[in-house]
């Protein structure tokens, strides 16, 4: 395992965060136009007065090879906040070196330090390498749950 520098992203990292988002989109087979985030949107959402999420970067030297995006949710049953891992991504050319595991462990450490009741995330059902990775870390799928989503258009119709 190669040791990465795992660090919180800063506003100066917005261009590389957007680059990693686009690389993740390509890996997840996004269609043209699916990714509408831009630097201004990310700057406001991540580093504005009310940040919506946090980002950790995995760096090899000065090069960001991966990132984790996460935010807090809330467990009514536990009466505590949780941590939701929105994205965990390592560039394909940097995989197999332990960067993903280091990012995941850094996010899990934050969840423990902040006394979160749990940590949740979703993985695409066709992404077997990710599913295997999470199984190796001791995670269990929540097969009894079905995810739902309202898109912006659906919200407007409501």
Is the pLDDT score of 1 beyond 80? no
Query: Would you state the pLDDT for residue 32?
Result: 86
State the total domains in the chain: 1
pLDDT over threshold 90, residue 80: yes
pLDDT at 75 over 80: yes
The pLDDT value recorded for residue 79 is: 97
Q: What is the pLDDT of residues 112-127, one digit of tens each?
A: 999 999 999 999 999 9
Q: Is the pLDDT of residue 138 over 80?
A: yes
Tell me the mean pLDDT in the region 91-95: 94
Summarize pLDDT for 18-71 with one digit per residue, the tens.
Answer: 999 999 999 999 998 999 999 999 999 999 999 999 999 999 999 999 999 999
Q: Which residues are CB-neighbours of 45 under 8 A, at least 6 positions away? A: 51, 52, 53
Q: Can you give the pLDDT at residue 152? A: 83
What local confidence, expressed as pLDDT, does residue 19 receive? Answer: 97
Higher per-residue pLDDT: 16 or 137: 16
Quote the strand ranges of the chain, DSSP E.
Answer: 5-8, 54-60, 63-75, 80-90, 119-121
Three-state secondary structure call for residue 12: helix
Torsion, CA 132, CA 91, CA 51, CA 121, rounded to 10: -10
HSE (side-chain half, CA atoms, 13 Å) at 62: 0
- Per the annotation, the verdict on 134 as an active-site residue is yes
How high does pLDDT run on average in the chain? Answer: 94
Q: Is 156 exposed, middle or buried (0-12, 13-18, 19+ CB in 10 A)?
A: exposed
Mean pLDDT over residues 102-107, rounded?
97
What lies within 8 Å, CB to CB, of 116 at 6+ separation is: 72, 80, 81, 82, 83
pLDDT for the residue numbered 3 = 86
Q: How far apart are CA 98 and CA 43, in angstroms?
A: 29
Alpha-carbon distance of 153 to 28, in angstroms, equals 22
- Print the domain residue range for 137: 5-157
pLDDT of residue 48: 96
pLDDT tens sequence across 142-154? 989 888 888 888 9
Q: Residues 118, 59, 126, 19: is their CA dihedral positive or negative?
A: positive
Do 36 and 91 form a contact (C-beta atoms < 8 A)?
no
Select which of 27, 84, 99, 134 is catalytic.
134
Sheet holding 5-8, edge to edge: 5-8, 54-60, 63-75, 80-90, 119-121
**CATH code for position 148:** 3.40.630.30
């Amino acid at each position: 395992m190669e040791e990465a520098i795992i660090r919180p992203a800063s506003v100066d990292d917005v261009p590389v965060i957007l680059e990693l988002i686009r690389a993740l989109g390509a890996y997840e087979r996004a269609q043209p136009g699916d990714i509408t985030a831009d630097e201004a949107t990310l700057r406001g959402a991540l580093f504005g007065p009310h940040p919506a999420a946090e980002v950790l970067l995995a760096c090899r030297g000065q090069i960001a090879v991966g990132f984790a995006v996460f935010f807090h949710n809330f467990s009514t049953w536990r009466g505590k906040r949780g941590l939701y891992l929105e994205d965990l991504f390592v560039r394909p050319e940097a995989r197999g070196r332990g960067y993903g595991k280091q990012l995941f462990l850094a996010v899990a450490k934050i969840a423990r330090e902040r006394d979160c009741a749990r940590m949740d995330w979703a993985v695409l059902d066709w992404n077997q390498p990710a599913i295997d990775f999470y199984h190796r870390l001791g995670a269990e799928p929540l097969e009894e749950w079905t995810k739902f989503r309202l898109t912006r258009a659906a919200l407007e119709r409501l």
